[in-house]
């Protein structure tokens, strides 16, 4: 099969924990993948090189997700390499935790710029450039309904992601493009583990009925479902959290 015949996925944050697992999972499904990075070009290039070395098709593309010109260039590079885009998975985001009463507003602005504006910029480009039969997958969090303390500003940004995702699904009526969000529970990534002691991690691991943390590969399975066979799942938030209430 030539590269031009493959389905093509652009994964923002593709050099990160969940993003990398998504890239690797979609590659195993036969996708050509664009591995997006914001700051770590070497890691994205290494991931793309590993996929290419194993017989897959991958490139690295960079840019600030909240910068529409940078992301237009990333979409352009993906289309130039592979002939089009079928799936956009938007895993890029940051998580800054603090009680609402004490969160610095600069941190609020930084998080909302990346998580809200970034998702909006990428979703806007995807809405105009994903091919028929394709999928857009954004990322929320299970904390939108578990309401853990210190997550207030982060949850606010992800609630906005859920809202724009569900509206976009309705706006793309007639284009045969699904739009969904994945809402992971506690997942063993550097983003999640940073700043937590062993007791906090252990308590979170026990919170789900399956009594473990999610792994990036667990979340990638949900994305692969939405990116591939789940054509009748549209305008939904899929909670991938092991049964966390």
pLDDT digits (tens, 9 = 90+) for 81-112: 999 999 999 999 999 999 999 999 999 999 99
Which residues, 6 or more positions from 111, have their beta carbon under 8 angstroms from its beta carbon? 94, 95, 96, 153, 154, 157
198 falls in which pLDDT band (50, 70, 90)? confident
For the chain, what is the domain count? 1
Arithmetic mean of pLDDT, 157-166: 98
Structural domain contains residue 148:
yes
Question: The CATH number of the domain where 175 resides is what?
Answer: 3.40.50.720
Residue ranges making up the domain that contains 230: 3-240
Structural domain contains residue 245:
no
Residue 193 pLDDT > 80, yes or no?
Answer: no
Token duo for residue 24: 């690797």
Percent of the chain, pLDDT > 90?
85
pLDDT at position 199: 87
pLDDT digits (tens, 9 = 90+) for 3-27: 446 899 999 999 989 999 999 999 9
pLDDT digits (tens, 9 = 90+) for 128-160: 999 999 999 999 999 999 988 999 999 999 999
Residue 121 pLDDT > 50, yes or no?
Answer: yes
Arithmetic mean of pLDDT, 204-225: 94
Structural domain contains residue 176:
yes
pLDDT at position 5: 67
Q: Which residue has the tokens 């938030």?
A: 237
Structural domain contains residue 108:
yes
pLDDT at position 217: 97
Structural domain contains residue 232:
yes
Structural domain contains residue 220:
yes
Structural domain contains residue 201:
yes
Structural domain contains residue 60:
yes
Active site residues: 154
Residue length of the chain:
245
């Amino acid at each position: 099969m030539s590269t031009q015949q493959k389905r093509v996925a652009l994964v923002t944050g593709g050099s990160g924990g969940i993003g990398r697992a998504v890239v690797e999972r979609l590659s195993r499904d036969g996708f050509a993948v664009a591995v997006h990075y914001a700051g770590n070009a070497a890691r994205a290039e290494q991931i793309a090189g590993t996929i290419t070395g194993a017989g897959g098709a991958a490139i690295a593309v960079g840019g600030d997700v909240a910068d529409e010109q940078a992301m237009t260039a990333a979409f352009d590079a993906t289309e130039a390499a592979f002939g089009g885009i079928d799936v956009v998975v938007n895993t890029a985001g940051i998580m800054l935790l603090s009680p609402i009463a004490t969160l610095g507003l600069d941190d609020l602005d930084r998080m909302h710029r990346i998580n809200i504006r970034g998702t909006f910029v990428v979703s806007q480009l995807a809405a105009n450039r994903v091919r028929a039969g394709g999928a857009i997958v954004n990322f929320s969090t299970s904390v939108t309904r578990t309401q853990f303390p210190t997550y207030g500003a982060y949850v606010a940004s992800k609630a906005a992601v859920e809202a724009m995702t569900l509206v976009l699904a309705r706006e793309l009526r007639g284009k045969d493009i699904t739009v969904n969000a994945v809402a992971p529970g506690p997942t063993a990534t550097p983003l999640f583990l940073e700043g937590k002691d062993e007791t906090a991690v252990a308590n979170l691991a026990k919170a789900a009925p399956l009594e473990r943390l999610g792994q990036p590969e667990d979340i990638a399975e949900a994305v692969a479902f939405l990116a591939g066979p789940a054509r009748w799942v549209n305008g939904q938030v899929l909670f991938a959290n092991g049964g966390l209430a």
